[in-house]
Amino acid sequence: MSAIDERVKKLCAKAANAPEGEVEEILAELQEALKEHARFVRFMAGKTLTRMSKDRLPSPPSKDVP
């Protein structure tokens, strides 16, 4: 489990068990953690798609082909 996944898990548990007066602050922190996770996922998806597109580039034609 990644550090951000662990942080989200802990914040969810903390929010579920927090007194009513603390929930809003914890949820704000959780929202920021989820935004950070989304940025990370977009970054990784971009890297993966870039790598995949480079892997699928056609080979240059052979010199033997007229």
pLDDT tens-place string over residues 42-64: 999 999 988 888 777 666 666 66
Q: How far is Cα 23 from Cα 45, in angstroms, rounded to an integer?
A: 32
C-alpha 50 chain-centroid distance: 16
SS3 3: helix
- Residue 6: pLDDT above 90? yes
| Average pLDDT value over all residues in the chain | 88
pLDDT at 58: 65
Nearest to 26 by CA among 48, 47, 44, 9: 9
**CB environment 7-26: b (16+ within 10 A), e (fewer):** bbeebeeebeeeeeeeeeeb
Q: Check: pTM over 0.85? Answer yes or no.
A: no
